[in-house]
Amino acid sequence: MRILSKLIITAVLTGAEVTRAQQPNLPITPEEIAQAALEAYEAGASIVHVHARETNGSATQDKEAYRKVMDAVTAKSPVIFQPSTGGATWHTAEERLQPVELNPEMATLSTGTCNFGRDIFSNPQDFYERAARMMLERGVKPEFEVFEAGMIDNALRLVKDGFVKPPLHFNFVLGVPGAMTGTVRNLSFLVDQIPADATWTVSGIGRYETSLAMVAIAMGGHVRVGFEDNIYYYRGELAKSNAQLVARVARIAKEFGREVASPDEAREILGLPARSK
């Protein structure tokens, strides 16, 4: 019987689209995001994925805004800080890549264009090659954000062309309106397309979050939860915090007999350098 690695839980704390009107407990300021990261870490998260916000709550990709958040988060907890290079659909390529200039341990990298509700999430080849090259030069590990199956092929081409070095890590984002829906069949199909030595996470959007989390735990994958993907705990009941969503996944993993990874264990699983003390 194959022994599964410990479970990496990623907490997606803010997103670019969610508002306080939709989720009153949404963290916005660097201090609020850092506190949410600490609570998520204490609940079992080892990675925090962050979209920075302006003081008025609007999404920003400004490097200095991300610097304030990164400094606040890493001062409070030992989590892996993972900024978004996706930003919001209206951000330019130059804006989207600014957080990589801070040399975080990881950053997201979307390797293809897809529908995103009524918008288009644009990731042409010249953009994702530029992003991959920038991450390689700065020692930032990309997490490939996969919304459609062709994005896997594009990611593997980056490896073949020398823009990315293994070990690879994928995040399958399922349930975004306009892209692949959140079925177990779709998740299984995507997992079968990646190299056997790659690691992967699933992000079930909205109502798909918990069901896909359970499947990923059983399959040996990893799980992403939080307000960016889902603002509810139960149908019609808003979650109290990102930590509440993390704690549910940790509790389910315990029932499955799968231990939750600490940040340092997550670094080892993902092939990241050990955190300097």
Mean pLDDT by 10 residues, the chain (277 residues): 82 96 98 98 98 94 97 98 94 95 98 94 96 98 98 98 97 97 98 97 98 98 98 97 98 97 98 84
Q: Which two tokens stand for residue 35?
A: 């506190």
CATH of the domain spanning 9-270: 3.20.20.70
Q: What is the CA radius of gyration of the chain?
A: 17
Q: What are phi and psi of 211, to 5 degrees?
A: -65, -45
Per-position b or e across 59-78, b if 16+ CB within 10 A of its CB: bbbebebbbbbbebbbebbe
Contact 266, 80 (CB under 8 A): yes
Spell out the domain ranges in the chain.
9-270
Residue 213's pLDDT is 98
pTM for the whole thing? 0.97
Contact 92, 53 (CB under 8 A): no
- The residues facing 12 across adjacent strands are 49
Residue 1's pLDDT is 40
- The residues facing 39 across adjacent strands are none
Distance between CA atoms of residues 13 and 226, nearest Å: 6
3-class secondary-structure state, position 192: helix
Instruction: Check residue 262 and report its DSSP letter.
Output: P
